[in-house]
């Protein structure tokens, strides 16, 4: 039997290209929230895939974007910091993208690295084959990729081939986590992110970037978890929208979040949600640290 391999794989790209969807697909369980709204992922999330070949630790990162707040600065710094840990980089793109200033920036960063770079073209079900070949040629003119792999993370097309290829380039080594581990994120953090995902799903375009969720308490009593969580927003007008008429919107968010948190905790959950206003928290160093966005910890 061949020696087992183990390593860290950074998944990088612009917002909304499907990085979290891909990592969730490979892991087989949600460890990062997804949304059609940009900049959903705010922190690096480690997803651990283990089989008889070895172990891949995927580093799902926030989308590279032009920052307009201190939170945005943190997110982009979090994505770039992935390079320090990675044995391999997956640059995830989608074929609808033009080669813009953001792609140029990513190329410049990646060309300084001494690790294999694989171009992963997601959402291939949205483009004709001849256009796909043109797209590959455009990107290949800017960088010498070890491999170019077209996939559809949502439809599970060629994802197994991608995992095979990742193992090909990883070093031989012992696993970093035991074989039952799928993420190193605390349950509280995942629960908070599930609530934020459902809030994004239920609310309009105006609010999402100004939302944060904190778990105030999480207790296990009588075969049930009792969770109190607060949804934070930046404006008083947003608070009313999140609560909804007679509390209807808040109830909807809770009812959508509860089943996924129960699956996460493998237990019944009593979830109580509150809403508070923290004006301009995305540009407050103190509040960002309170929400866990601390650049010094990257």
What per-residue string of b and e applies to 117-142 under the rule 16 or more CB within 10 Å gives b? bbbbbbbbeebeeeebeebbeebeeb
pTM of the full structure:
0.81
pLDDT, tens digit only, all 298 positions of the chain = 568 999 999 998 888 888 888 998 999 888 775 666 555 555 677 889 999 999 999 988 777 766 678 887 777 777 777 777 799 999 999 887 578 888 888 888 888 889 999 999 999 888 887 788 888 888 999 899 999 999 999 999 999 999 999 999 999 999 999 998 988 888 898 999 899 989 988 987 667 678 899 999 999 998 999 999 999 999 998 999 999 999 999 999 999 999 999 998 999 999 999 999 999 888 888 888 887 777 766 5
Q: HEC states along the chain? A: CCCCEEEEEEEECECCCCHHHHHHHHHCCCCCCCCCCCCCCCCCEEEEEEECCEEEEEEECCCECCCCCHHHHHHHHHHHHHHHCCCEEEEEECCCCCCCHHHHHHHHHHCCCCCCEEEEECCHHHCCHHHHHHHHHHHHCCCCCCEEEECECCCCECHHHHHHHHHHHCCECCCCCCCCCCECCCHHHHHHHHHHHHHHHHCCCCCHHHCEEEEEEEEEECCEEEEEEEEEECCHHHHHHHHCHHHHHHHHHHHHHHHHHHHHHCCEEEEEEEEEECCCHHHCHHHHHHCCCCHHHC
Domain 5-169, CATH: 3.40.50.300
Q: What was the pLDDT predicted at 37? A: 58
Q: What was the pLDDT predicted at 35? A: 60
Q: How is domain 187-297 classified at the architecture level of CATH?
A: 2-Layer Sandwich (3.30)
Which pLDDT tens digit goes with each residue over 89-143?
Answer: 999 998 875 788 888 888 888 888 899 999 999 998 888 877 888 888 889 998 9
Q: What was the pLDDT predicted at 151? A: 95
Token digits of residue 243: 């609560």
Show me where the domains of the chain are located.
5-169, 187-297
Q: What was the pLDDT predicted at 288? A: 82
Q: What was the pLDDT predicted at 131? A: 83
Length of the chain, in residues:
298
Q: What was the pLDDT predicted at 215? A: 93
């Amino acid at each position: 039997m061949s020696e087992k391999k183990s390593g860290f794989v950074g998944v990088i790209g612009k917002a909304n290209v499907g990085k979290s969807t891909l990592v969730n697909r490979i892991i087989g369980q949600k460890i990062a929230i997804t949304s059609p709204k940009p900049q959903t992922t705010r922190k690096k999330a480690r997803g651990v895939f283990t089989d008889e070949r070895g172990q891949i630790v995927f580093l799902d990162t926030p989308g590279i974007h032009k920052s307009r707040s201190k939170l945005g600065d943190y997110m982009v710094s979090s994505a770039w910091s992935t390079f320090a840990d990675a044995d391999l980089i997956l640059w995830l793109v989608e074929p609808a993208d033009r080669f813009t200033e953001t792609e140029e920036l990513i190329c410049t960063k990646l060309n300084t690295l001494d690790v294999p770079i694989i171009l992963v073209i997601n959402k291939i079900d949205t483009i004709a084959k001849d256009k796909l070949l043109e797209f590959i040629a455009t990107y290949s003119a800017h960088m010498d990729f070890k491999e170019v792999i077209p996939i559809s993370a949502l439809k599970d097309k060629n994802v197994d081939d991608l995992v095979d290829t990742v193992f090909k380039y990883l070093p031989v080594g012992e696993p970093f986590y035991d074989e039952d581990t799928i993420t190193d994120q605390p349950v509280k953090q995942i629960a908070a992110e599930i609530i934020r995902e459902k809030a994004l799903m239920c609310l309009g375009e105006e609010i999402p970037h100004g939302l944060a969720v904190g778990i105030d308490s999480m207790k296990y009593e009588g075969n049930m978890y009792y969770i109190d969580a607060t949804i934070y927003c930046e404006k008083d007008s947003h608070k009313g929208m999140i609560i909804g008429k007679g509390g209807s919107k808040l109830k909807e968010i809770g009812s959508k979040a509860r089943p996924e948190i129960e699956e996460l905790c493998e237990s019944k959950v009593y979830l109580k949600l509150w809403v508070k206003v923290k004006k301009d928290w995305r540009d407050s160093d103190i509040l960002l640290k309170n929400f866990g966005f601390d650049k010094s910890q990257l």
